[in-house]
Amino acid sequence: METEKAYKLLAIQERISNSKAKDLIDKGLVRVAGRKVSIARGEIDVRSNFAIKDVNEMRIIFQDNDILALDKPAFLTADEISRKFPDYILLNRLDKETSGVMLFAKNKAFQNRAISEFKKNNVYKEYVAVVEGKFIDDIEIDKPILTIKHSGKARSTIDKKAGKPAKSTVYPMYVEGNKSKVKIVIDTGRTHQIRVHLNSIGFPIIGDATYGKTSPNVQRVLLHSKCTKIFDYIFEAKEPREFRIFGLE
């Protein structure tokens, strides 16, 4: 079998630059035979046919003189979004494959007030996830999380001794077969908190290759920041259509 590096083969087939091809793979947008291509420099059969997922448009939910609220699409990092608004100050981060409400302060005074609210856990943060398993009872997960960063990537684990406090409350929404849609309200905001917490109780998020469970029909982590409340503001972002893939409506 003749092979070639995935990004080089993609560049040839799509008639794009090597750097563009590598970027598409790194963002998790490229699949072959229904499986995500994870390593741009990995060797792959030259006969492979690539499928590239389109990234949804970013949408402004609301803005005034103090705050900008966005509906972030999956596959864009918080840093990529920030570069689109260089004059504003990022207030909350979402993982690359997580979609939903993302906030920016438009001035330093509002940033300071908002950060104080986050630190005091006065910000309501509601997420929706699709998980493996039949989830039928409310549960509060109070497990400390330790995050280690290496080569620009973060990995979190539950660590009772060295971890920082992390609390998530999970509520059932819908069950279909062995899949469930759940609502999660978090009091803290540790890196990968929801993904780690749900996996720790035996309900891994579908599409999460790091902490959860992959699926041939799912191209992203099925986690969405649905609602954020801060001060007198309430911001909501509609769930993307892929959250209906298992009939969980």
Among all residues, which ones are annotated catalytic? 95
| Secondary structure (DSSP) of 150-180 | ETTEEEEEE-TTTPBP-EEEEEEEEEETTEE
Q: How far apart are CA 131 and CA 212, in angstroms?
A: 8
Q: Which of 237, 232, 235, 240 is nearest to 62 (CA)?
A: 235
Say if residue 88 is exposed, middle or buried (CB neighbours under 10 Å; 0-12, 13-18, 19+).
Answer: middle
Running DSSP on this structure, what letter comes out for residue 241? G
Helix (H) / strand (E) containing 130 = strand 124-132
Long-range contacts: 104-111, Cβ < 8 Å, 24+?
104/67, 104/68, 104/69, 104/70, 105/66, 105/67, 106/63, 106/65, 106/66, 106/67, 106/68, 107/65, 107/66, 110/66, 110/67
Chain CA centroid to CA 61, Å: 18
Task: Give the span between the Cα atoms of 61 and 55, in whole angstroms.
Answer: 18
